[in-house]
Amino acid sequence: MSYTFFLLLLTLVHSTFSSLAPTDKAALESIRDSLTDMPGSAFFSTWDFTAPDPCSSFSGLTCTPLGRVTALSLGPNLSGSLSPSLSNLTHLTQLILYPGSVTGPLPPRFDTLPLLRVISLTRNRLTGPIPASFSSLSNLHTLDLSYNQLSGSLPPSLTTLPRLKVLVLASNHFSDSFKPVSSPLFHLDLKMNEISGELPPAFPITLRYLSLSRNSMQGTINALEPLTELTYIDLSVNQFTGAIPNSLFGPAISSMFLQRNNFTSIANGTAVSLPQGSVVDLSHNSISGELPPSLVGADSLFLNNNRFTGDIPEEYVESLVNGTTKTLFLQHNYLTRFPWNSGFQLPDSVSLCLSYNCMETDPVVGLSTCPIEVAPLLSRPAIQCSRFYNHSSTG
């Protein structure tokens, strides 16, 4: 008699602490009905709703002891759409959709999911705007909706969420202006969208990674001056103007991509050595003046297609000779002298391009390794150099 009672009790405990809650089971059935395995995918092969314990047998599912779904990872290689029933998984802390061909809008009701900390729905074909209900996700730490076809304005509340650290919306069709940022972000990636206007007046000093490449933004980047801990910054292919803050060239930076904008100068400031292995690309701007000491020491330095003038500082040559700098592109400027000593020897690993400047001769002819698209002329025509310097002196 006691043994029978024990088995009954054990069955009851297992049922209480393992079985899927009815509301969550209904939500998962709806999610399953709205998605399909693509050819070659077998993600849903384990989703048997007659199984005694879906929490332990379903792929991509994590539950509480009481059978409430806390984490849902879908895919990869699914098609279909995201069911609005996702909003019924009210204990969800993590929602992941791996790359596939899922289409349609995001579910509208995220306000019923207050525990969400991670949303990652990348590399699918989701469309439409970000729902306004995202503003209620006060516990959200990471939001990644990159490489979809989402559109509309960025909700103002998105960059004010109090615990948001990682925001990745790259490669969508978001438009309009960039909203103020007060979330404690350390990673912000909005590249390859259609965002216009100027930068917001301030960014969180916690920011370490910033990518706004390939948008239609303009104005100065003075708002970035306090961000001395940035390790990665990419503002390339925009319409930014004015001076580049000297503070960005600090010991923390490892990658800086500001090419193909309309910058005109590098602000004066205290020179700080760039870290070993850093990459700096300021090419295809309108930066004038002499080469600043703040750029010495970069592993790869692209300053071509600007309006730099004067002699190349000896520190740049020393950085090449000692192997600290491995790539130095200075072509298509108005530089007048490369202080080369016949006793110097460039390491085999160095790539140096000085073509199309205002030097009378190439002092390291035979050693320069310019990209194939660079014009074969070693120097600018003298008339161009004369006109440029005469205009500069009278201006």
Helical ranges in the chain per DSSP H: 2-18, 22-34, 54-57, 314-321, 382-394
Distance CA 224, CA 236 (A): 15
Rg of the chain taking only CA atoms, in angstroms: 28
Q: Residues 102-126: what's their mean pLDDT?
A: 97
Distance CA 385, CA 318 (A): 27
Q: Which domain holds residue 359?
A: 233-390
| 62: enclosing H helix or E strand | strand 61-63
Residue 148: CB atoms within 10 Å: 23
Among 252, 292, 259, CA closest to 276: 252
Asked whether residue 56 is assigned to any structural domain, the reply reads no
Asked whether residue 135 is assigned to any structural domain, the reply reads no
What are the tokens at 314?
């000896």
Residue 379 DSSP code = B
Asked whether residue 100 is assigned to any structural domain, the reply reads no
Asked whether residue 84 is assigned to any structural domain, the reply reads no
CATH number of 281's domain: 3.80.10.10
The distance from CA 389 to its chain's CA centroid, rounded to whole angstroms, is: 39
Of residues 348 and 271, the one with the higher pLDDT is 348
Asked whether residue 277 is assigned to any structural domain, the reply reads yes
Sort strands 69-74 and 61-63 into parallel, antiparallel or unpaired. Answer: antiparallel
Among 73, 71, 82, 69, CA closest to 23: 69
Residue 341: CB atoms within 10 Å: 10
Please state, for a pLDDT cut of 70, what percent of the chain lies above it. 92
Asked whether residue 5 is assigned to any structural domain, the reply reads no
Asked whether residue 199 is assigned to any structural domain, the reply reads no
Tens of pLDDT, residues 223-275: 999 998 999 999 999 999 999 999 999 899 999 999 999 999 999 877 677 88
Distance CA 179, CA 192 (A): 17
Q: State the pLDDT at residue 363.
A: 57
Residue 154 DSSP code = P
Is the pTM higher than 0.85? The answer reads yes
Tens of pLDDT, residues 375-394: 666 788 989 998 998 877 66
Tens of pLDDT, residues 151-170: 999 999 999 999 999 999 99
Asked whether residue 316 is assigned to any structural domain, the reply reads yes
| 101: enclosing H helix or E strand | strand 101-104
Q: State the pLDDT at residue 362.
A: 58
Phi and psi at residue 351, to the nearest 5° = -115, 120
Q: Using omega within 30 degrees of 0 as the cis cutoff, is the peptide bond preceding 52 cis? A: no
215 pLDDT exceeds 70?
A: yes
Q: Per the structure, how many domains does the chain have?
A: 1
CB of 259 closer than 8 Å to CB of 234: no
Residue 354: beta bridge partners?
none
